[in-house]
Amino acid sequence: MTAEQTFRIACIPADGVGAEVVAAGRAVLDTVADRSAGRFALDWTEFPWGSAYHAEHGVMMPDDGLDRLRDFDAIYFGAVGWPTVPDHVSLWGLRLRICQGFDQWANVRPVTFLPGITGPLRAADDTELDWVVVRENSEGEYAGLGGRNLSARGPGGEVAVQSALFTEVGCERIFRFAFDLARTRARRKVSSVTKSNAQQYGMVLWDETFARVARDYPDVETESVLVDAMSAKFVLRPEELSVVVASNLHADILSDLGSALAGSLGLAASANLNPERRFPSMFEPVHGSAPDIAGRGVCNPVGAIGSAAMMLGHLGLPDEAKAINAAVEACTARGIRTRDVGGTAGTREVTEAVIAHLPGWTG
Ligand SMILES: NC(=O)c1ccc[n+]([C@@H]2O[C@H](COP(=O)([O-])OP(=O)(O)OC[C@H]3O[C@@H](n4cnc5c(N)ncnc54)[C@H](O)[C@@H]3O)[C@@H](O)[C@H]2O)c1
């Protein structure tokens, strides 16, 4: 049967548990496509880029890597980083190169609390919690600006400068994205994370732009919270959160805190979006390559499966995305969980259970 629409997906498992969780996400996606009765199909192309590729070729991806990815409908990514390659080389050589090269300026990271998984917050309180971190993904502290010099001064004499870049255009577009997202949610609220008390240039521009954009969204509640206070709020008053918008570094840290509070880093999904769709967007779990558990079949595939659902939503298949998330919830509620969230199941068992709970399949 010919599908009504075929999406071309570039798959980059990269390092460590990346390969395991991407295999899990692909198995779920392929099942959903098979069962779509011809509504859609996925045409996968896998790229072997990552730290093993670096060992062979001296680079994380080939020079023309971005050109080879450009015409895909989306990129499905695992995780990058391995002890054989310095982390800044592996991250900048692959993941950040794709994010920046394709202007994937909005990184959306939902903090999802799943039934049956007791996170540190749930143990004390069973308020319904659900918020999303929107990360400025193209500039800020990860703009890659700076340099090292003066090593000729001898041991201990070298200097390094790492500058953060805040542009009004970059701030405005991420705020508008956050406000538009807030309008789709039950609680219409945007919390901006700042550090303008200490960083009087970039973060003050951030705050002023936030206040200006907020005036165009009078129906959306706002607050501006220092990053130190926001980290406390994640723990102490998370029920007050809906959309949290933060700079590249702040959101990177806060989203890990959020997923840890939900129960595990292995649960968190994310989308690196080029909202104008000039380039493919990239979908990946928040977690890294987890060398400590890689290759043992025990890693949690839920973050990668949730990222797969976000990819389908982005491709215009929201019902299929919801079906995947519902299947994950059904599994966790029944206690089918990996050990990082208190279960005994392996990666494969959880994946098979999610597949078994997809519509039309019996559990
Ligand atoms: N997006 C990315 O590709 C990304 C993100 C973060 C870190 N990294 C890289 O990953 C490597 C390891 O970094 P790290 O140890 O700081 O972070 P990590 O996310 O890989 O691991 C942190 C902890 O979380 C656990 N964990 C992570 N994913 C899990 C999963 N799916 N299931 C169960 N447990 C899971 C790990 O076992 C570890 O104890 C480094 O090279 C780092 O640069 C890559």
Domains of the chain: 1-117+265-363 (3.40.718.10), 119-262 (3.40.718.10)
Q: 3-state DSSP call for residue 313?
A: helix
The residue nearest atom 22 of ligand 1, judged by CA position, is 290
pLDDT, tens only, 241-286: 999 999 999 999 999 999 999 999 999 999 999 999 999 999 999 9
Cβ-based neighbour number of residue 345 at 10 Å? 19
CA distance 21 to 15: 11
The residue nearest atom 25 of ligand 1, judged by CA position, is 290
C-alpha 139 to ligand 1 mean position (Å): 23
- Per-residue b/e over 268-301, b at no fewer than 16 CB within 10 Å? bbbbbbbbeeebbbbbbbbbbbbeebbeeebbbb
Q: Determine whether 130 is an active site residue.
A: no
Among 283, 244, 266, residue whose Cα is nearest residue 341:
266
302 CB under 6 A from ligand 1?
A: no
Residue 172, burial from CB neighbour count under 10 angstroms (0-12, 13-18, 19+): middle
**Cα distances (angstroms) measured from residue 101 to each of 97, 136, 271:** 6, 15, 16
> What average pLDDT score do residues 118-124 get?
75
Q: Which residues sit opposite 273 in a β-bridge?
A: 106
pLDDT, tens only, 172-215: 999 999 999 999 999 999 999 999 999 999 999 999 999 999 99
119 CB under 6 A from ligand 1?
A: no
Better pLDDT: 361 or 293: 293
Q: Determine whether 87 is an active site residue.
A: no
Q: 3-state DSSP call for residue 285?
A: strand
142, 189, 217, 233: which one is catalytic?
Answer: 142
CA angle 260, 263, 268 (to 5 degrees): 65
Best mutation site among 17, 96, 287 for ligand 1, i.e. most ligand atoms within 8 A of its Cβ?
287
pLDDT of residue 350: 98
Position of tokens 């390559």?
A: 289
Give the chain's mean pLDDT. 95
The residue nearest atom 10 of ligand 1, judged by CA position, is 288
CA distance 116 to 93: 38
Q: Determine whether 207 is an active site residue.
A: no
For residue 14, which atom of ligand 1 is closest to its CA?
3
CA distance 72 to 9: 6
Q: Determine whether 233 is an active site residue.
A: no
pLDDT of residue 126: 66
67 CB under 6 A from ligand 1?
A: no
363 pLDDT above the threshold of 80: no
C-alpha 287 to ligand 1 mean position (Å): 5
C-alpha 17 to ligand 1 mean position (Å): 8
pLDDT level of residue 362 (50, 70, 90 thresholds): very low
Q: Determine whether 217 is an active site residue.
A: no
